[in-house]
Every structure is written in structure tokens, then in C-alpha cells.
Amino acid sequence: MYARFERFWHWSQALLIILMLATGFEIHGSYALIGFEQAVSVHSFSAWVLIGLWIFAWFWHLTTGEWKQYIPSAPDRILSQIRFYAFEIFQGKAHPFHKKRDSKLNPLQRLAYLSLHVMIGPAIWISGLLYLFYKDWAAMELFSGISLTIIAMIHTAAAFLMLAFVVAHLYLALTMDEHPLSGLRAMITGYEQDPD
Amino acid sequence: MSGSRGSGHIILRDILNASSIKRPIVKKYALLLFAPLVCLLNVSISFAKIETGSYSTQSSTADHSQFEELKQDFKTGPEVTAACLGCHTEASKQLHKTTHWTWAFENKLTGQTLGKKNVINNFCVATASNWARCTSCHIGYGWKDASFDLTSEESVDCLVCHESTGSYKKFPTAAGHPNYVPKKWPPKKGKTRQPPNLSEVAQSVGKPGRSNCGACHFYGGGGDGVKHGHLDSSMHNPSRELDVHMDATGLNFDCQTCHTTGSHQVAGSRYDPKASDKRGVVIPGLKDQNRASCESCHGNTPHPETANVKLNEHTSKLACVTCHIPEFARGGRKTKMWWDWSTAGKKDPDGKGIVIKDAQGYDTYNFKKGDFIWEANVEPEYYWFDGEVQFSLLENKIDDSGVVPINNIKGSYDDDKSRIWPFKVMRGRQPYDSKNKIFGIPHLFGKDADAYWQGFDWNNALAAGFKERGFEYSGEYDFVETEYYWPVTHMVAPAENSLSCESCHSAEGRLQNIDGVYIPGQNRFPWLDIIGWLIVLGTLGGVLLHGLGRIVAAKNKKRG
């Protein structure tokens, strides 16, 4: 189900995002864990690794055509998926869509991951780079209209959305399979039993 | 700068010192290879990693004890100066041009005339009409009233800065002279101060040491540590923890290592501060050899590459001392933080002036001066500072509706000159002419009945003080609260004792006063935090409920 790169991407990204959330909210001042300086170091370092990973991921998606998996579905398909999560699942009805190699994502997943990749992700890394090089941008007289306050605000807001995504993703990914935990197994081994 | 030759010597010696860095041979060669590159790129070397020897080594080619001219039975200080001038023909002429001598300073930026002759402070307030007491810290002899001849070459006191016996002390009330006969001091304490042996003192002269400068600068404001809080008697021989550069058993810097001198002009005046030194490392050949800034040795990117890169980015907006002087008055001495003149004058039923001392012997009340608050290990206050300081001088009307700043410090995030600086803020209450709205000039010291310390009558004291400065006194006085901003620059701690990130990057961090910039960890958007956590917790709650719903539904189905 999942290619080697896809699995590597998923798990390293997961690790990095958790690391960055943990250190990011420490920098934000939500709690004290490893100390501000350490948190900044880990956060900045992970940021570079994650950005590198994302570049590879974008490249991989574009060259393999896998990006098409994120094309939003027709509205009626989206509605039927919503109907499933909202009502049908409690009635014990079957999933409206089956996971296939060439169509791994259900209509809501498509929307969620698309917004993760083209909205939350870029919001974080663009604001993050502005944040990290704030002094240099100022020296180059670039982005001078954007104060650090605004940058920090966008970065923090995106981080909250990322954290909410992680929570929802964990629930859905771990409990929504037609066979218990088959998605997790597939994300580790690459293979998933095709229900058909 | 005409004195660049003198400073050049110091710099050459530095370079010789720096080149004897003890490192493994391979690293030494690597250093040789990269040194020119490092210089070209203006990248500064981490000073923390360099092993340095003691800075202070006497290397004069003249032993003044062998000079016949100094083997005299000198009767007075000016006689010694006359002997000095016999060889050092230009010395007094040079001194006459210094603020140390004139007590007047033209600030080119603000156009104000400052100096001890002109400024008003919230310690003993003003020099005018109190000359003989105040000028015990003047580098001259005999400034006992306004008629003092500032062109007299023999009135320059060479000894106070250059003698090295430690026995030469200007007598506190003798207008800059030491006592030439045994004299009682402090008065009514039964102690006698012996006169110095001027011949011995004259033969001891050399390069000034910390204690020469400290004789005045450690005791400003009327006592040990009173004024600055980062200069006090603990700096005669400081430990490494107290001052990493002056560390008596380590680098052992003199004052003039940083306060470079030439033609007796001393660099680095508080009257003309540089909030941000963009020259970088001061190398020989630069026109301006002033090294009274951290950057002039450490450069603008002083932290080693192994440190967090953000540290070097902080230097454009933070003075080095903001992090590297975590507290002042760290040497075991207290500094005065509050001085309330309005309560002065209290006497007990027997007519004896009241003095109250704290457990360590510091006056908390003195009938001559009022109430004091003393503190040690003081956390500075932090403000944006661009180096421009406007003083409230006698010519300026004051706004007595609130606290009056004696000096206004300018600065903000938005200009590239300003950086966040640490300050000692001296606060207190002092007399002012409540009708004319100008600071009062109290005539405190003297044997006349008008002097406050004789008659304890503010009206008489202020009338005499104003008269001395040529100002009309309305006859009405009151006390006004004032504050005086003193940049903290000395008592630089070793790197390991500097502030941590959390000192500022936390909710209760030290930079609460600082506006114009977002400080991660300190600044928040409360609404964003609320919305953000609502979204996160809402999601969590949502999935939990959803999961619960599924479990219940599945059970119902089984049962059904």
C-alpha cells in the first residue's frame, strides 16, 4: 500500500512534528521541559530537517504522480463520507469508500491532507523561516512590513492547527480501519490486506 | 587623536599576548592558516576559549625613586606637581583639557553642558556652594570656591592618579589637598588621619592602577558603592566571579585597558555614551582607538560558533552587559537605591542628630541626609537606549506633577542605534523651588550658618545654593521625587554566570518594560492561546466522544 519513501516520509515527519510541537510550545512559554535554549536548538535543527524532508516529499509526489491522491473529490462523495463519520458508523454500516493503492484517501482525508500540505505546512515553514531569519530579512530590507509579532502570531496559530491535526489523525488512523490497526501495520510494513 | 601613540603600545602588547595562545600544535597551525581569513572576514574569535596571561605587568623604563628631583622634602601637593612638570612639561596642559579637570563637558549630540559643575543629581545634588567637600574628588588642589583658577598648572594633582603607595589620600574637606598635618577624621570619632609622606609618594609614581581610579570612582555619591553600584571597593581586587576582566588573579585588567587614554584624555564617558558600537574590533590603524566598549575587543559577533546562533543575533538589539551583568553590587557592598532628603533634620530630645543603621552598618536614616534604601545583588532595570541623554539642568523647568527624570534616556526598537541596556535607577526625593519649578541647589557643606549641615534650614541652604549658581530663589521650596538612570557597565560576570535565555524568555522575564518587539516566551496573544487550545481540546474531546459513541453503539448492536 505504501511505498518505501512514503513510509520513511511519514514516520520521520511524524517524529519531527512531535519534536517541533513539544519544543515549539516550550518556546511559546506553555511549559518548561528541556530549557529555552535547548528547545530553540532542537526546534531550529528539526526545522531544517523537516524542510529538507518536505522538499523531497514534494519532489516525490510530483514525479510519481502521487499528488493526484490529494485532488478533492466531488461534493457528493465528500458528503457521503461526512454522513458516514457522523451517523452511519454508529449504525455499524460499512465504509463508503475502500482504500486502494491508487486511491488511498477517502474524500475527507483528501481534503485534510491537502490542507495540511498546502496550507498548514507552508504557513508554518514560511512563517518559521521569517521568524528564524528575522534579523537578516530586516538587514536585506525584505518583508519589512511584517513585524515579528505578526510572524509569531501566524506561526503559533498554525502550530495549534498542526497539534489539532495530530490529535484527530491519531484517532482516525488508529481506529477507523476496516480491520483493526491494519493501517498502522501498512504504514510500517508497506502492505495492507485488500478487503476486496 | 594626538595620543594614539600611547594607546598603540597597549594594543601591540595585546597582540603579542594573544599570539602566545597555548593550544595543541595542530590547532596552532590551523589557527595560523585561518587567522588572516578570520581577520579579513571580521569574524571574531571566541575569547572564552583563549588562555590569557595576566594583563597588568609593570614595564616602565623609568624608576621614579631614582630621580633626584623627587628626593625632596615636599610640603604640599603643588610642590610635587612642580617637580613633575620639570620633566613632564606638557602634562598639566593636557590635563586642563579633560573633564577630570574642568568638571564641564560639552555633549555634542544634545548641545548640553554637563559635568559636575553643571549637572544636578539625586545624591548630594550639586557641587556649587559645596566645593571644598566635593572637590576632594577633583584632580586638582584648592577648588574651594568659584574663584578657583582652572589655568594653574601646579594645581593639577598628579599623585592621586599616579602614586602607588596607597597612602596618599585627599582629605575629605580640604578641596583636593591631602592633609599636611595630622587631622581628626571622621570628626568627633576620635580617629586621626596622618599626613602622607609626599617624598615617598612622589617617588612611587607610575601607571595608574585600579585603586587610583577607584579612590574617587568607587566612592562617588559620598561613600563606598553609593553612586554606581557597579563600582565599589570590592573592585580594588575583584574575584573572577565579580569581574571577569579585572579578576586580580586572572586577567587583572586596569581601568585604562578599556578606558584607553591618550594625552590624558580617558575614553568612555557616561556623559557621551555609545549604546551601540558598530566599529567592531578596534585594530591598530583605526583612527578611533577608543576601547571603552565590549565590541572594541570582542567584535559584534562575540559568541563562538558552538553556541546557539541566535546569541550572535541578539547583539544588534541587546547590549552585551544586558546578559553579562546579571546583577550589580555583587561584591559584598551595598549601593544606595533611594535617598529621601525630605526627612532630613531629625534630632533626638537632647538635640543630637539621629542616625539609624541596618544590621550591616549602613545608614538607613541620617539626620544630615534623610532616609536611605541600600541594596546588594540588584537586578538592573532594562530600557531601550540609543545613547542620547537629556539632563534636567538648572535652566530647565521641571514638571513637578510626577516623578522627575534627572536624565531622560532616549531609545526605541525602531532605530538601529538603540539597544536594550541595563540601568541602575537611582530614586529619591530632593528639594526644588516649588514656585520657579527648578531643581534646588542646596548649600550643604560649610562652616557658615546657611549651610544645611550647620543650620538645618532648607530656605537658607537653598538661597545660598541658588545664589552661587546665579539663580533667583523664590523663597518657596518643596521636595520632588526624581529618578536618575545609570547604565550598568562594570562587574561583568564570567560567561557561565551570564543570564540564561529564560531570564527574559519567560512569562515573568526581565524585559517586561521593553516594548516594540515580540519576545518569544514572554509575549503572548492571549486570545490566540484561548482559541488555539479550544481547537486542540475541542478536537480531542470530539474524537473521544466519537469513539465513545462508537463503543456504545457497538455494544447496543451486540445486545440488540
The DSSP string of B410-438 is: P--TTSSS-EEEEEEEEEEEEEEETTTTE
Beta partners for residue B409, in sequence order: B389
Query: Would the CB atoms of B528 and A148 count as touching at under 8 Å?
Result: no
Residues of chain B contacting A42 with CB distance shorter than 8 Å:
none
What interhelical angle do A121-132 and A148-175 show, nearest 10?
140
pLDDT band for position B557 (50/70/90)?
Answer: confident
Q: What's the whole-number average pLDDT of chain A? A: 90
**Which residue, among B528, B548, B555, would best test binding to A if mutated, counting the most A CBs under 10 Å from its CB?**
B528
Tell me the mean pLDDT in the region A34-53.
94
User: What is the C-alpha to C-alpha distance for residues B215 and B178, in angstroms, rounded to an integer?
Assistant: 13
Claim to verify: residue B532 and residue B438 sit in the same structural domain: no
pLDDT at A137: 86
A148 touches chain B (CB under 8 A): yes
pLDDT at B58: 55
Beta partners for residue B183, in sequence order: B193
Claim to verify: residue B484 and residue B532 sit in the same structural domain: no
pLDDT band for position A177 (50/70/90)?
Answer: confident
Residues 6+ apart with CB under 8 A from B76: B141, B177, B180, B198
Domain endpoint, select from B252, B285, B300: B300
Claim to verify: residue B224 and residue B82 sit in the same structural domain: yes
Whether B378 has a pLDDT exceeding 90, the answer reads yes
Query: Would the CB atoms of A29 and B506 count as touching at under 8 Å?
Result: yes
Instruction: Outline where B20-107 has alpha helix (H).
Output: 25-40, 77-87, 91-96, 99-102
**How many percent of chain A have pLDDT more than 70?**
98
CA distances from residue B239 to A191, B219, B235, B253, B325 in whole angstroms, order as listed: 68, 19, 8, 12, 14
With b for 16 or more beta-carbon neighbours within 10 A and e for fewer, the A129-141 pattern comes to ebbbebbebeeee
pLDDT at B56: 47
Claim to verify: residue B268 and residue B402 sit in the same structural domain: no
Claim to verify: residue B417 and residue B296 sit in the same structural domain: no
Q: Is A121 helix (H, G, I), strand (E, B) or coil?
A: helix
Long-range CB contacts (< 8 A, 24+ apart) of B189-194?
A: B193/B169
Q: Is B105 helix (H, G, I), strand (E, B) or coil?
A: strand
Claim to verify: residue B262 and residue B354 sit in the same structural domain: no
Claim to verify: residue B472 and residue B546 sit in the same structural domain: no
Tell me the mean pLDDT in the region A127-149.
87
Query: Would the CB atoms of B535 and A161 count as touching at under 8 Å?
Result: yes
pLDDT at B560: 64
User: What is the C-alpha to C-alpha distance for residues B352 and B118, in angstroms, rounded to an integer?
Assistant: 34
Inside any domain, residue B51? no
User: What is the C-alpha to C-alpha distance for residues B407 and B392, in angstroms, rounded to an integer?
Assistant: 6
A40 touches chain B (CB under 8 A): yes
Claim to verify: residue B195 and residue B237 sit in the same structural domain: yes
User: What is the C-alpha to C-alpha distance for residues B504 and B512, in angstroms, rounded to an integer?
Assistant: 8
Whether A196 has a pLDDT exceeding 60, the answer reads no
Q: Which amino acid is it at B428?
A: G
pLDDT at B150: 97
pLDDT band for position A194 (50/70/90)?
Answer: low
Q: Whole domain around residue B558: which residue ranges?
A: 526-560
pLDDT band for position A91 (50/70/90)?
Answer: confident
Tell me the mean pLDDT in the region B480-501.
97
Residues 6+ apart with CB under 8 A from B239: B247, B248, B249
C-alpha cell of B213?
581610579
Least-confidence region, from A43-52, A135-144, B371-380, B502-511 = A135-144
pLDDT at B49: 45
**How many percent of chain B have pLDDT more than 70?**
89
pLDDT digits (tens, 9 = 90+) for B48-78: 444 555 444 557 899 999 999 999 999 999 9
pLDDT at B22: 38
User: What is the C-alpha to C-alpha distance for residues A121 and A110, in angstroms, rounded to an integer?
Assistant: 15
C-alpha cell of B234?
570590592
Query: Would the CB atoms of A160 and B536 count as touching at under 8 Å?
Result: yes
pLDDT band for position B1 (50/70/90)?
Answer: very low
Residues of chain B contacting A159 with CB distance shorter than 8 Å:
532
User: What is the C-alpha to C-alpha distance for residues B187 and B464, in angstroms, rounded to an integer?
Assistant: 24
Inside any domain, residue B411? yes
Inside any domain, residue B292? yes
Claim to verify: residue B159 and residue B107 sit in the same structural domain: yes
Whether B168 has a pLDDT exceeding 70, the answer reads yes
Tell me the mean pLDDT in the region B385-391.
97
pLDDT at A94: 85
Answer for the pair B8, B2: CB distance below 8 angstroms, yes or no: no
pLDDT at A178: 75
Inside any domain, residue B314? no
Q: Which helix (H) or strand (E) holds B482?
A: strand B477-487
Residue among B336, B406, B443 nearest B119 (CA): B406
- For A40, the closest chain B residue by CA position comes to B308
Answer for the pair B92, B85: CB distance below 8 angstroms, yes or no: yes
User: What is the C-alpha to C-alpha distance for residues A128 and A50, in angstroms, rounded to an integer?
Assistant: 12
Radius of gyration, alpha carbons of chain B: 29
Inside any domain, residue B135? yes
Tell me the mean pLDDT in the region B214-226.
96
Least-confidence region, from B161-165, B241-245, B552-556 = B552-556
Whether B34 has a pLDDT exceeding 60, the answer reads no
pLDDT at B3: 37
Query: Would the CB atoms of A29 and B524 count as touching at under 8 Å?
Result: yes
Domain total of chain B: 3
**How many percent of chain B have pLDDT more than 90?**
83
ipTM over 0.90: yes
Least-confidence region, from A150-159, B34-43, B190-199, B430-439 = B34-43
Whether A58 has a pLDDT exceeding 80, the answer reads yes
User: What is the C-alpha to C-alpha distance for residues B339 and B121, in angstroms, rounded to an integer?
Assistant: 11
User: What is the C-alpha to C-alpha distance for residues B192 and B171, in angstroms, rounded to an integer?
Assistant: 12
Q: What's the whole-number average pLDDT of chain B? A: 90
Q: How far is A146 from chain B (nearest CA, A)?
A: 12
Claim to verify: residue B201 and residue B278 sit in the same structural domain: yes
Per DSSP, chain B holds a count of helices (H) and strands (E) of 16, 17
Residues of chain B contacting A44 with CB distance shorter than 8 Å:
309-310
pTM over 0.90: no
What interhelical angle do A148-175 and A182-189 show, nearest 10?
110
Residues 6+ apart with CB under 8 A from B196: B165, B167, B168, B169, B178
Domain endpoint, select from B300, B317, B343: B300
Q: Which helix (H) or strand (E) holds B478?
A: strand B477-487
Claim to verify: residue B384 and residue B346 sit in the same structural domain: yes
Inside any domain, residue B426? yes
Whether B387 has a pLDDT exceeding 70, the answer reads yes
Inside any domain, residue B285? yes
pLDDT band for position B390 (50/70/90)?
Answer: very high
CA distances from residue B230 to B259, B379, B391, B401 in whole angstroms, order as listed: 16, 11, 21, 31
Answer for the pair B177, B77: CB distance below 8 angstroms, yes or no: yes
pLDDT at B86: 97
Whether B37 has a pLDDT exceeding 90, the answer reads no
Inside any domain, residue B59? no
pLDDT at A3: 87
Question: What sign results for the dihedral spanned by CA atoms A116, A120, A125, A126?
Answer: positive
Chain B residues bordering chain A (beta-carbon distance below 8 Å): 308-310, 313, 316, 500-502, 505-507, 517-518, 520-525, 528-529, 531-533, 535-536, 538-540, 542-543, 546-547, 549-550, 553-554, 557
How many beta-carbon pairs below 8 A join chains A and B? 89
Radius of gyration, alpha carbons of chain A: 19
Q: How far is A55 from chain B (nearest CA, A)?
A: 24
Least-confidence region, from A94-98, B452-456, B514-518 = A94-98
Residues 6+ apart with CB under 8 A from B55: B17, B251, B252, B253, B254, B257
Least-confidence region, from B13-27, B338-352, B493-507, B540-554 = B13-27
Residues of chain A contacting B532 with CB distance shorter than 8 Å:
156-157, 159-160, 163
Claim to verify: residue B263 and residue B139 sit in the same structural domain: yes
Beta partners for residue B390, in sequence order: B408
Instruction: Outline where chain A has alpha helix (H).
Output: 4-28, 36-64, 75-86, 107-115, 121-132, 134-139, 148-175, 182-189
Phi, psi of A68 (to 5 degrees): -65, -20
Residues of chain B contacting A135 with CB distance shorter than 8 Å:
313, 316
